[in-house]
Amino acid sequence: MKTSEFVSMLATGIAPTHPRVIARRFATALFLGLSGAACLMVALYGVRGDMPQMLTTPLFWLKVAFPLAVAGASLFIATRLSRPGADTAFGWIALAIPLVLIWVAALIVIIAAPPALRLQLVLGSTWQVCTINIAILSAPTFVAVFWAMRGLAPTRPVLAGAAAGLLSGAQAVLVYTLYCVEMTVPFWGVWYVLGMMAPTIVGGILGPRVLRW
């Protein structure tokens, strides 16, 4: 068989890929994941009764900004890892910024507080259930993002799976802020981060199994 005939045979029946296929798949995944997480939260936990008042509180919007920034950075990393050879350096820098800022702010708050109150600032009143609640709420986005990635071409499945897990965890925290009563930065810097790390670790473990192609 001649080379030209072989190339023609390989190209037969191949449909062109839409140039925005990655954006479309991730948009669908995030919409389904956010909708699923919101429905799950309302069904399991409900919404804070004082939410109208919280919407006028700057501290609440800082609380929302943290997972939103992590979600944005992890979305960039996940989309880049869904294609071969894409550079992710900017995404890791963008991810580090909100984490470092929240930890620095938490440290400042703890140092400024009276010693007797420092542990309470970290533990709050819901530390025992916060991480598991976030992990539960991350499930819809976790499944949806893995579906989106599985239809693409990730070549680093461990990192890709971890990025998918981090994205689902950040979106879960974003939804969880509508229920969570904790309003101290040290609490967010510990338990929200642990809540995001749980699906990240699971995603890294499942990545080589689910995202292999």
| Sequence-ordered list of residues with C-beta below 8 angstroms from that of 144, at least 6 positions apart, any chain | 28, 29, 30, 32, 33, 36
What are the residue boundaries of the structural domains of the chain, listed by start? 20-210
For the chain, the average pLDDT equals: 91
Q: How far apart are CA 41 and CA 47, in angstroms?
A: 8
Mean pLDDT, residues 36-54 taken together: 91
Residue 69 has pLDDT above 70, yes or no: yes
Question: Percentage of the chain with pLDDT > 70?
Answer: 91
> pLDDT band at residue 150, thresholds of 50, 70 and 90?
very high
Phi and psi angles of residue 174, each rounded to the nearest 5 degrees, phi first: -60, -45
Whether the model clears a pTM of 0.85, i.e. scores above it, the answer is: yes
pLDDT in tens, 72-95: 999 999 999 998 888 999 999 999
Can you give the pLDDT at residue 178? 92
Q: Which residues of 32-69 are buried (b: 16+ CB within 10 A; e: fewer)?
A: bbbebbbebbeeebeeeeeeeebeeeeebeebbebbbb
Can you give the pLDDT at residue 212? 81
Can you give the pLDDT at residue 21? 84
Instruction: Please name which of 120, 142, 159, 116 lies closest in space to residue 195, comparing C-alpha atoms.
Output: 142
pLDDT in tens, 123-143: 999 999 999 999 999 999 999
> pLDDT band at residue 2, thresholds of 50, 70 and 90?
low
Can you give the pLDDT at residue 8? 56
Full DSSP string of the chain: --HHHHHHHHHTTPPPPPTTHHHHHHHHHHHHHHHHHHHHHHHHT---TTHHHHTT-HHHHHHHHHHHHHHHHHHHHHHHHTSTT---HHHHHHHHHHHHHHHHHHHHHHHHS-HHHHHHHHHTTTHHHHHHHHHHHHHHHHHHHHHHHHTS--S-HHHHHHHHHHHHHHHHHHHHTTT-----HHHIIIIIHHHHHHHHHHHHHHHHHHS--
> pLDDT band at residue 19, thresholds of 50, 70 and 90?
low
Residue 5 has pLDDT above 60, yes or no: no
46: left (phi over 0), alpha (psi -120 to 50) or beta: left
pLDDT in tens, 155-203: 899 999 999 999 999 999 999 999 999 999 999 999 999 999 999 999 9
Can you give the pLDDT at residue 10? 47
Can you give the pLDDT at residue 142? 97
Can you give the pLDDT at residue 49? 84
